[in-house]
């Protein structure tokens, strides 16, 4: 009897911790779904009440029917855009962390390279994209480069803030222990910077999809951006809205995945 009581208490404690851990994300996801459902309902009521023609604004049912019927075409375009956005976001993350580490470690590198980085970031993508298309063609490479240009800056800025926000007593402790620069970076600076890095990733995750679609609009690459533009040109608004909602769903998915990873790797904060 005495053995089962602690086991039952431990089981209740574990169940409570699990509930607390997942209650917030589930509540957030549920609220988002309810908001989305409410917007769909208002859209349907507005189209029916105003008697808007289908060639101006289709109903949600028509959009869903087209999405199911044209899923092969939509999924092919989605896969292309996802590859551009994910590869571009990965490259942007590696580049941003590398530059942030370099700038924090060297004031000379900051003065020499940071102005050039700011110039590249502030240049309009619409002006850079044609140059990229002429040099790299209309394929996946151009889309990835556009994603990198748009996505790396928020990650880099937040990573620099995080690397510089390391507690001084932690750095002094590593110095007393005789740790080198690489060890100090991996064991102290990088863990302290993780919350800041994930803040930049959340900001860049959604913009990665938007910038990939922008590159497809300009280059004619067969992704969701091109599908939306082509459907609008041929007044296939149900197909256009299908692609729009799929792109929104993917951007939200990447955002929530990033938030989940942040909770997983910054549990100690």
- Among 124-133, 165-174, 198-207, the range scoring the smallest mean pLDDT is 165-174
pLDDT of residue 76: 93
Q: What is the pLDDT of residues 216-268, one digit of tens each?
A: 888 888 889 899 999 988 888 889 999 998 988 888 888 788 888 887 777 66
The arrangement of secondary structure in 58-265, i.e. its CATH architecture, is Orthogonal Bundle (1.10)
Is the pLDDT at 12 greater than 90? The verdict is no
pTM above 0.85, yes or no: no
Task: Identify the three-state secondary structure at position 232.
Answer: helix
pLDDT of residue 135: 87
For the record, the structure tokens of 122 come out as 């502030």
Render 20-76 in DSSP notation, one character per residue: HHHHHHHHHHHHHHHHHHHHHHHHHHHHHHHT--TTTS--HHHHHHHHHHTHHHHHH
Q: What is the pLDDT of residues 16-71, one digit of tens each?
A: 555 555 555 555 556 667 877 888 889 888 888 888 888 788 888 888 999 999 99
Average pLDDT over residues 113-125: 85
Q: Are 144 and 208 in contact (CB under 8 A)?
A: no
Is the pLDDT at 13 greater than 70? The verdict is no
Average pLDDT over residues 117-129: 83
- Give me the phi and psi of 110, to 5 degrees please: -60, -45
pLDDT of residue 79: 93
Q: In percent, how much of the chain has pLDDT > 90?
A: 18
Mean pLDDT of the chain: 81
Average pLDDT over residues 147-162: 90
């Amino acid at each position: 009897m005495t053995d089962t009581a602690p086991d039952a208490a431990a089981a209740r404690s574990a169940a409570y911790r699990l509930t607390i851990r997942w209650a917030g994300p589930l509540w957030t996801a549920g609220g988002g779904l309810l908001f989305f459902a409410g917007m769909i309902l208002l859209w349907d009521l507005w189209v029916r009440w105003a008697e808007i023609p289908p060639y101006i604004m289709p109903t949600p049912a028509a959009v869903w029917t087209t999405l199911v019927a044209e899923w092969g075409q939509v999924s092919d375009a989605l896969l292309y855009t996802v590859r551009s956005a994910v590869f571009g976001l990965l490259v942007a993350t590696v580049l941003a962390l590398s530059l942030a580490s370099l700038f924090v470690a060297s004031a000379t590198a900051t003065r020499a390279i940071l102005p050039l980085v700011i110039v590249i970031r502030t240049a309009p993508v619409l002006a850079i994209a044609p140059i990229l298309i002429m040099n790299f063609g209309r394929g996946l490479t151009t889309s990835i480069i556009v994603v990198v240009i748009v996505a790396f800056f928020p990650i880099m800025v937040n990573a620099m803030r995080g690397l510089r926000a390391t507690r001084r007593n932690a750095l002094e402790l590593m110095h007393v222990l005789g740790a080198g620069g690489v060890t100090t970076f991996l064991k102290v600076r990088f863990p302290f910077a993780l919350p800041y890095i994930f803040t930049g990733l959340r900001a860049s995750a959604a913009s990665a999809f938007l910038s990939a679609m922008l590159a497809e609009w300009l280059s004619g690459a067969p992704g969701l951006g091109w599908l939306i533009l082509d459907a609008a040109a041929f007044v296939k608004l149900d197909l256009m809205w299908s692609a729009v909602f799929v792109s929104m769903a993917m951007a939200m998915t990447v955002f929530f995945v990033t938030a989940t990873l942040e909770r997983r790797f910054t549990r100690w904060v």
